[in-house]
């Protein structure tokens, strides 16, 4: 059962899609994810790029984020996100986009900026590094932004060489899941 772990919506139960189309983050990994950034959530503008159930963005809202933009390519998933946002009381502080992640980034460029990004795609997509680089290149993240990535079998060895980013934490959870927390230092931030 999905739920909000802590904050103003603590304990609220969240809906998820039936079947294998959505792979919600486990409570164990979600707990580790949020303990890594717990003091850096308040008033952040959040992008939940592969929203699924919306649990990551809604957890951030529960912990004091200012707003969340949810993106998912599946209309059915976005309907679940909206229902979960209503349940938690954050519906009006959120924006919802049914879109492929690349199209969303292209269209949002020059219009939106975020300082906390969740990138948790279906593992088979293997696009965490590409998505992060595209967010940087299209100037959708600002210096000081945090990026939280959950990856499966994707080769993440190049993550430490991603220009402008510093890896704060990388942890493997079994053989199938890894969690990465990065900070964007900006164009001038790092050599690499």
Instruction: Show the 3-state SS of the chain.
Output: CEECCCCCCCCCEECCCCCCCCCCCCHHHHHHHHHHHCCCCCCCEEEECCCCCCHHHHHHHHCCCCEEEEEECCHHHHHHHHHHHHHHCCHHHEEEEECCHHHHHHHHCCCCCEEEEEECCCHHHCCHHHHHHHHHHCCCEEEEEEEEEEECCCCCHHHHHCCCEEEEEEEEECCCEEEEEEEECCCCCCCC
CA distance 9 to 59: 8
Q: What is the mean pLDDT of the chain?
A: 92
Domains of the chain, by residue range, sit at 2-184
Tens of pLDDT along 123-133? Answer: 888 999 999 99
Q: What pLDDT shows up at residue 79?
A: 97
What's the confidence (pLDDT) of residue 192?
Answer: 40
97 pLDDT exceeds 90?
Answer: yes
The Cα 188–Cα 82 span in angstroms is 38
Structure confidence at residue 20 (pLDDT): 59
Cα 63 vs. chain centroid, distance in angstroms?
Answer: 14
Q: 114: pLDDT confidence band, cut at 50, 70 and 90?
A: very high
**pLDDT at residue number 128:** 94
Cβ neighbours of residue 17 closer than 8 Å, sequence gap 6 or more: 52, 53, 74, 76, 77, 80
The CATH code that applies to domain 2-184 is 3.40.50.150
Average pLDDT, integer, range 161-168: 93
């Amino acid at each position: 059962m999905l739920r909000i772990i802590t904050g103003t919506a603590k304990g609220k139960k969240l809906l998820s899609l039936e079947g294998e189309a959505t792979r919600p983050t486990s409570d164990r990994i979600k707990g580790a994810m949020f303990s890594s950034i717990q003091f850096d959530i308040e008033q952040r503008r959040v992008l939940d790029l592969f929203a699924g159930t919306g649990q990551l963005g809604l957890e951030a809202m529960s912990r004091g984020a200012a707003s969340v933009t949810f993106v998912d390519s599946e209309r059915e998933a976005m309907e679940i996100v909206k229902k979960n946002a209503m349940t938690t009381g954050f519906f009006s502080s959120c924006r919802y986009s049914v879109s492929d992640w690349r199209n969303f980034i292209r269209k949002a460029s020059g219009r939106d900026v975020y300082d906390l990004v969740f990138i948790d795609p279906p593992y088979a997509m293997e696009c965490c590094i590409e998505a992060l680089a595209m967010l940087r290149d299209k100037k959708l993240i600002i210096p000081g932004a945090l990026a939280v990535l959950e990856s499966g079998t994707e080769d993440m060895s190049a993550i430490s060489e991603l220009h402008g980013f510093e890896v704060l934490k990388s942890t493997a959870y079994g053989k199938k899941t890894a969690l990465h927390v990065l900070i964007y230092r900006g164009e001038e931030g790092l050599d690499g």
